[in-house]
Amino acid sequence: MSKGLKIMLFWSLGFPVIITFLRIITDYFLGRDIELLSYSAVFLGIVAAGLIFAGPLNYFIPKSQEN
């Protein structure tokens, strides 16, 4: 698997999953209600941000420094 694909997969799947689990754990310990619908909206928003901003930026910045 190429380096670019690994970076894009992390920022579009790995990072949103980590953030969503951290939010669920935080809400559990704070005693708040856990509603999966609200977490799915956050997850999809972070996925979109990872595909549009974070993935390409984290791929092109180190690549531009190599040149």
CA distances from 53 to 19, 49, 59 (A): 16, 5, 10
Q: What is the pLDDT of residue 67?
A: 67
**Structural domain span for residue 9:** 3-66
pTM over 0.75: yes
Q: Is residue 14 very low, low, confident or very high in pLDDT (cuts 50, 70, 90)?
A: very high
Cα-based distances in Å from 33 to 23, 25, 29, 39, 60 = 12, 11, 10, 11, 40
Three-class secondary structure of residue 18 per DSSP: helix
Domain total for the chain? Answer: 1
Give the residue-averaged pLDDT of 1-19: 86
Residue 27 has pLDDT above 90, yes or no: yes
Q: What is the pLDDT of residues 29-56, one digit of tens each?
A: 999 988 889 899 989 999 998 888 888 8
Token pair for residue 60?
């092109």
